[in-house]
Amino acid sequence: MERIDITVKEPPKKEKNWKNSIKDFLFYLVQWTWGLPVNLVGGIAFLICTKIKGYRWQRFGYSKIVYVPWKGGGLSMGLFIFVKAQHSNKTWTYNCRIHEYGHTWQCLILGPLYYLVIALPSVIWCNCFAGYRKKNNVPYSAAYCESWADLWGQKFSGLTQAPDFNHRSLAKIKEAAKTEES
């Protein structure tokens, strides 16, 4: 299995050329038109958290991650991701950034439907089924919206989640496929 460096803070930089410039332009155009309702809420929260509250933030691919001092985990609102600051588990933080970035890409595709198709089921799965998941040893990624976010976060960030109980990393999927072929 490949070695995963959880100290990586952001996806690898893309080469600067006209094709990537067009892709960047189209990504933001779609996010700020089709995904406007989600990004507007996220943008306002981003400004409050960074300009008024002074919370630390960083770029992560196309998105911006804000580190907030809350008890929760991660929350993605389009281009804006909010993650628990100073989580005691560095692997969790690394995986969470990639996972939430996957939600950013879901917003690109789903636009205003994101709230109904992804956000609502995700909030319910996170907050109402924690006891069920713990009691039955069910990973967080068992919900369609979460496994999809894991896969797309890894695909579009170019980073692989570190294996842990909560996230089905691409490394695990590739390893399972190799086992099935044998």
Which are the contacts of 57, defined by CB distance < 8 A and separation ≥ 6? 46, 49, 50, 64, 65, 66, 67
As a whole number of angstroms, the distance between CA 141 and CA 44 comes to 29
What pLDDT sits at residue 178? 64
pLDDT digits (tens, 9 = 90+) for 30-60: 999 999 999 999 999 999 999 999 999 999 9
As a whole number of angstroms, the distance between CA 81 and CA 121 comes to 18
Asked if 142 and 133 touch (Cβ cutoff 8 Å), the reply is yes
Closest CA to 84 of 59, 49, 111: 49
Q: What whole-number percentage of the chain has pLDDT above 70?
A: 88
The pTM of the full predicted model, rounded to 2 decimals, is 0.86
Mean pLDDT within 107-121: 96
